[in-house]
Chain A
Amino acid sequence: MKILVAVKRVAALEEDFEIRDDGRDVDPDFLNFDLNEWDDYSLETAVQIKEAAGDGVEVVAVTVGPDDADEVLRKCLAKGADRALRVWDDALEEADPIAIARVLAAVAQKEKPDLLLAGTQSSDHGHAATGIALSALLDWPHAAVVAALDFKPGSATALVQRELEGGLLQSVEVQTPAVLTIQLGINTPRYASLRGIKQAASRPIETATPQELGVADDALGAAGSHSRVRRMYVPEKGRAQMIEGSAAEKAARLIQIIREATGA
């Protein structure tokens, strides 16, 4: 019995930051990195299933990212993951969520987990796409925004509660293997003590390249992506204004603003 947990090292902005020279991302000097908050919950979900079962459940954390991403895998190991796997090739640099999902799908095909957990979304880019794309690529059933999970190792189905808009919950029975994207609040993620993280540093992190997993070169990075970031910027603020004057003056000013905005 195996649970694969897909995790991501996400970036958080410092209060003051600058945009990279090419204008397509934030200057990494102004970023702090950490394990994606949603992934913290999905890892906890997996570890709790393992602890409840007592024995025979293996939790494998996997990420797609460069060397630096090891730190989040170490955190996963400290929190109870049995193995950690990192896949990377520089060609993945420009990958969109679909291209990332393709690599993760290759990992899943090799690892053959009974359950694949991902965060509902990532806190930095927020596509909320990787998990769902993964289920499509694997042709596995999925449930998104999972707020509660009832799954016994060995069972052919998992019972999940999905969080809908307006405070509604939807109870869904999903056949396994399945991809579940986990919502915040499903549990209380445990604290990874620094001691635990340090001890995890001596445990191996398996690495692989997409090529080794059988993903074709032209399916990686920009080549394998359907979307591309053009520009990252801070929108101008303070555009609202109060128009003063008589009704006629206000109307005239309004027409002027509309013309400016539409370029007419």
Chain B
Amino acid sequence: MDTAQLTAGAFDPTKVTRILFEGFSLPAVTFFYLAGIAALAVFAHGCWVEIRKYRRGAADPASATMLWQRFKGMVGAVLSHRTIERRDKAAGHAHRLIFFGFAVLFIGTATITLDYDITAKLFGWRFWYGDFYLWFSLFCDVAGLALTVGLIYMMARRGWLKPPKLDYARPDREPGDKDYDRRGYRIEDWAFLWTLIGIAVTGFVLEAARLVWLQERPEVWTLRWWSPVGALLAEVFRGAGLSADGASALRGGLWWFHGLIALAFIALIPRTKVKHIFTASGSLMMRDPLAAQRLPRADPEAKTVGYSKITDFTWKHLLNLDACTKCGRCHEACPARAAGAPLSPRDVILSLREFANEALEKKDLPEEAKLSVHGKDVGQVFMETLWSCRTCMACVEICPVAVEHVPIIVQLRRKLVEDGDMDPLLTKTLQTIHKTGNSFGESKRKRPAWTKSLPFTIKDARKEPVELLWFVGDYASFDPRNQKVTQAFARLLHGAGVDFGILYDGESNAGNDVRRVGEEGLYELLAENNVALLQKSSFKRIVTTDPHSFNTIKNEYPEFGGKYEIVHYTQLLTEMLNDGRLKLDRPLGYRTTYHDPCHLGRFNKEFDAPRALIEAVGCELVDMARSRDNSFCCGAGGGRIWVPDPVGKEKPAQIRMREAAAIEGLQVFAVACPKDLTMFEDALKTTGHEGRFVVRELIELIEECMAPAIPATAEEPQEPVPA
């Protein structure tokens, strides 16, 4: 646009700029500068207090690597807002308006400071005038508008829409408990919104007042539409009868209000939720994409294990605590919370944050006894809270600021395990696994018992080389219902002429869930046993039907010297389907839904192979509302399959069954995980949906698809069962 056309007045358009301190006395300007310096000092001190807090945490050796890549990742996430808009588009858009509005206005203010206080004073060079100034005005006005609109939406969201995830009621505390009340957070949320919108709105009013005040100056009035919002407001003010003198007075008072709350805002950044600008970015930069999939190792020689004191936390986890913006996405996604357990990932993080602030922000560290985060006191985490977690990773997955809830919970559990603070049934199971290598308490010798009824012999991969080593896993080996699936998979591989073998009685529990319980020593023993055996065997790659074993072999065994190529059976079968080794010729035609197992889907991002198989067997796939990375855990993870859920409360698997039952005409609830089969067949019965639809392993559907047509038995859903 040619500015000359717009500015046909008695002034030089290339020299046009804006007044700053016009009409202020020297003491007033001096006072403002002093206030500015004071604000920056308070800000800097606040930053120092926070940094000192993080430095009181433990070192995190992994954090120093790949800094440039991490930085790029963080910038990408922040600019794109992709983590913020997930599963909440409206909040994402509103935050984007606020973020970019705020960022542009901040850069704008910084630009003025650069011009007026630095380049002009030091070098006599000014650039904030002419075309640059005009475009700058337009940009800042649009940014201010974006900021205001975003803030108004957020206020409406908190005030009227009230999404349940923003309700801070705690499932882990009782009303009346000292730290039950989260009123402080609510006040802060509103103070934050009102302060920001106050700064934005007074900015516009100031702009309008300046235009009215200086309406006689042609360079101001002629060019006013370069600040469209201010100009519009100015028209309104003039229409309402505001004189130039009145505008001058208004500007004088409002200027100080606007300036001082803006400075106060800056000063308080490190001490309020505003700090998430830095902590969330920092947390995103330190994001570990395998945080929950590959849990941190523990030094076996160290005096203590896991997180006992707040100073045991790595500085990165302390930063995580401060990054949390209480958005409630984890709270919403958590299956334990949904089932009424005393756990909300958000409240664990907030509790620990409050604890860290209380213990680590002072000049001196409190005595050691006051650093323990376990217990029943204010800010401490309850044992039952930690044991409610199913380590399903739903929280870590959806957290927009990369908080590592699951690794933190497991670190806290390690301390509980060390002290024996756990359910007696869990103690028993761990002892059993130590003694027998499996969670069923069966003799090692019985692990391959399921092979006996097969009409062929499976190779012993310990004794002869095989192409494919099948790591069977506990549930697939010992659970009678799952053994049928295991045998079906063996028949499938044998029928397709695949060269495969198993480890027979040499295999031990893979350890995935033992590690997630927090029994790191036992995990190491199991992993070392399995790795030693695998190292001695000759094979090209590993296959397993168990997503739990899949996860730990894939992501955790490498740290124990076992680097293998491993596929889940759904991936293998998809491959075999594509290269023609697997032929499916009888479309089943069932209306089917598929439950993504946590450890296959969310943990290892395999969503498509199982769906391809469902399509291949000619079933109609109808996904549940919560699917793929938002799949809802069956409740068995993190060792919870060994400890029954409390009676009288709805279990996660039952919640899931009801979700599936809402699909009209559903015939098959397909799973691809042995534990899922156990959990959901049970939940099918207890929710009274038995007879309406069935739970099936994908392997069973495939075998049915290959078998010659047989007449339907009573429980086979050949025809849609009327609901």
For B442, list chain A residues within 8 Å (CB): 15
For A194, give its contact among B422, B436, B443, B522 (CB under 8 Å). B522
Q: Does A239 sit at the interface, judged by CB under 8 A?
A: no
How far does the alpha carbon of A15 sit from the alpha carbon of B447 in the complex, in Å? 13
A193 and B521: CB pair below 8 A?
yes
How far does the alpha carbon of A190 sit from the alpha carbon of B520 in the complex, in Å? 17
How far does the alpha carbon of A191 sit from the alpha carbon of B430 in the complex, in Å? 9
Known A15-B446, A191-B422; judge A34-B521 contact (CB<8 A). no
CB closest chain-A residue, reference B424: A188
Min distance, Cβ A201 to any Cβ of chain B, angstroms: 11
Q: Does A230 sit at the interface, judged by CB under 8 A?
A: no
For B420, give its contact among A190, A194, A195 (CB under 8 Å). A190
How far does the alpha carbon of A197 sit from the alpha carbon of B525 in the complex, in Å? 11
How far does the alpha carbon of A198 sit from the alpha carbon of B435 in the complex, in Å? 15
Residue of B434, B443, B519 with most chain A CB atoms under a 10 A cut-off = B443
B519 and A193: CB pair below 8 A?
yes
For B436, give its contact among A32, A188, A195, A198 (CB under 8 Å). A32
How far does the alpha carbon of A73 sit from the alpha carbon of B460 in the complex, in Å? 36
A-facing mask of B22-40, CB < 8 A → 1, else 0? 0000000000000000000
How far does the alpha carbon of A34 sit from the alpha carbon of B434 in the complex, in Å? 11
Contacting residues of chain A (68-125) with chain B, CB-CB under 8 angstroms:
none
B-facing mask of A1-43, CB < 8 A → 1, else 0? 0000000000000111000000000000000101000000000
Q: Does A65 sit at the interface, judged by CB under 8 A?
A: no
B443 and A191: CB pair below 8 A?
no
How far does the alpha carbon of A56 sit from the alpha carbon of B383 in the complex, in Å? 31
Known A15-B443, A188-B424, A196-B521; judge A32-B418 contact (CB<8 A). no
How far does the alpha carbon of A171 sit from the alpha carbon of B422 in the complex, in Å? 32
- B: number of interface residues (CB 8 Å): 26
For B253, list chain A residues within 8 Å (CB): none
Known A191-B430, A195-B305; judge A34-B435 contact (CB<8 A). yes
Q: Does B604 sit at the interface, judged by CB under 8 A?
A: no
A-facing mask of B520-543, CB < 8 A → 1, else 0? 111011000000000000000000
Min distance, Cβ A64 to any Cβ of chain B, angstroms: 22
Min distance, Cβ B428 to any Cβ of chain A, angstroms: 9
Min distance, Cβ A114 to any Cβ of chain B, angstroms: 26
A193 and B436: CB pair below 8 A?
no
Known A14-B445, A191-B420, A193-B418; judge A198-B521 contact (CB<8 A). yes
For A190, list chain B residues within 8 Å (CB): 419-420
B525 and A194: CB pair below 8 A?
yes
B435 and A191: CB pair below 8 A?
no
Min distance, Cβ B620 to any Cβ of chain A, angstroms: 45
A194 and B519: CB pair below 8 A?
yes
Q: Does B396 sit at the interface, judged by CB under 8 A?
A: no
Residue of A188, A193, A195, A198 with most chain B CB atoms under a 10 A cut-off = A195
A-facing mask of B424-465, CB < 8 A → 1, else 0? 100100110011100000110110000000000000000000
How far does the alpha carbon of A105 sit from the alpha carbon of B60 in the complex, in Å? 54
Q: Does B580 sit at the interface, judged by CB under 8 A?
A: no
How far does the alpha carbon of A195 sit from the alpha carbon of B446 in the complex, in Å? 28
For B443, list chain A residues within 8 Å (CB): 14-16, 32
For A191, list chain B residues within 8 Å (CB): 417, 420, 422, 427, 430-431
For A34, list chain B residues within 8 Å (CB): 435
How far does the alpha carbon of A16 sit from the alpha carbon of B434 in the complex, in Å? 20
How far does the alpha carbon of A15 sit from the alpha carbon of B443 in the complex, in Å? 7
- A: number of interface residues (CB 8 Å): 15
CB closest chain-A residue, reference B418: A193
For A198, list chain B residues within 8 Å (CB): 300, 521
For B300, list chain A residues within 8 Å (CB): 195, 198-199
Known A14-B445, A188-B424; judge A195-B435 contact (CB<8 A). no
How far does the alpha carbon of A191 sit from the alpha carbon of B519 in the complex, in Å? 11
How far does the alpha carbon of A32 sit from the alpha carbon of B430 in the complex, in Å? 16
Min distance, Cβ A135 to any Cβ of chain B, angstroms: 31
For A32, list chain B residues within 8 Å (CB): 435-436, 443
B-facing mask of A176-216, CB < 8 A → 1, else 0? 00000000000010110111111100000000000000000
Residue of A32, A191, A196 with most chain B CB atoms under a 10 A cut-off = A191
CB closest chain-A residue, reference B514: A194
For B419, list chain A residues within 8 Å (CB): 190
How far does the alpha carbon of A195 sit from the alpha carbon of B443 in the complex, in Å? 24
CB closest chain-B residue, reference A13: B443
For A195, list chain B residues within 8 Å (CB): 298, 300, 305, 418, 520-521
Known A32-B435, A188-B424; judge A193-B417 contact (CB<8 A). yes
Residue of A15, A32, A193, A196 with most chain B CB atoms under a 10 A cut-off = A193
Min distance, Cβ A132 to any Cβ of chain B, angstroms: 29
Contacting residues of chain B (493-546) with chain A, CB-CB under 8 angstroms:
519-522, 524-525
How far does the alpha carbon of A199 sit from the alpha carbon of B524 in the complex, in Å? 14
Contacting residues of chain B (471-508) with chain A, CB-CB under 8 angstroms:
none
B-facing mask of A233-245, CB < 8 A → 1, else 0? 0000000000000
How far does the alpha carbon of A121 sit from the alpha carbon of B524 in the complex, in Å? 34
A194 and B521: CB pair below 8 A?
yes
Min distance, Cβ B302 to any Cβ of chain A, angstroms: 9
CB closest chain-B residue, reference A191: B420
For B434, list chain A residues within 8 Å (CB): 194
Min distance, Cβ A140 to any Cβ of chain B, angstroms: 32
How far does the alpha carbon of A14 sit from the alpha carbon of B446 in the complex, in Å? 10
How far does the alpha carbon of A190 sit from the alpha carbon of B430 in the complex, in Å? 12
Min distance, Cβ B429 to any Cβ of chain A, angstroms: 11
For B422, list chain A residues within 8 Å (CB): 191
How far does the alpha carbon of A191 sit from the alpha carbon of B427 in the complex, in Å? 6
How far does the alpha carbon of A34 sit from the alpha carbon of B441 in the complex, in Å? 13
Min distance, Cβ B517 to any Cβ of chain A, angstroms: 11
How far does the alpha carbon of A196 sit from the alpha carbon of B304 in the complex, in Å? 10
Min distance, Cβ A38 to any Cβ of chain B, angstroms: 16
For A15, list chain B residues within 8 Å (CB): 442-443, 446
CB closest chain-B residue, reference A79: B420
For A14, list chain B residues within 8 Å (CB): 443, 445
CB closest chain-B residue, reference A202: B301
Min distance, Cβ A71 to any Cβ of chain B, angstroms: 11
Min distance, Cβ A230 to any Cβ of chain B, angstroms: 28
For B305, list chain A residues within 8 Å (CB): 193, 195
CB closest chain-A residue, reference B302: A195
How far does the alpha carbon of A15 sit from the alpha carbon of B522 in the complex, in Å? 24
Known A14-B443, A191-B427, A191-B431; judge A197-B521 contact (CB<8 A). yes
How far does the alpha carbon of A196 sit from the alpha carbon of B298 in the complex, in Å? 13
B-facing mask of A149-170, CB < 8 A → 1, else 0? 0000000000000000000000
Beyond known contacts A194-B521, A198-B300, A199-B301: 9 more, CB 8 A cutoff: A15-B442, A15-B443, A32-B443, A34-B435, A193-B521, A194-B434, A194-B519, A195-B298, A197-B521
**A residues apposed to B, CB below 8 Å:** 14-16, 32, 34, 188, 190-191, 193-199
Top 5 A-B pairs ranked by shortest CB distance? A194-B521, A195-B521, A191-B420, A190-B420, A14-B443
A-B contact pairs, 25 of them (CB 8 A): A14-B443, A15-B442, A15-B443, A16-B445, A32-B436, A32-B443, A188-B424, A190-B420, A191-B417, A191-B427, A191-B431, A193-B417, A193-B418, A193-B420, A193-B519, A194-B519, A194-B522, A194-B525, A195-B298, A195-B300, A195-B305, A195-B418, A195-B520, A199-B300, A199-B301
**B residues apposed to A, CB below 8 Å:** 298, 300-301, 305, 417-420, 422, 424, 427, 430-431, 434-436, 442-443, 445-446, 519-522, 524-525
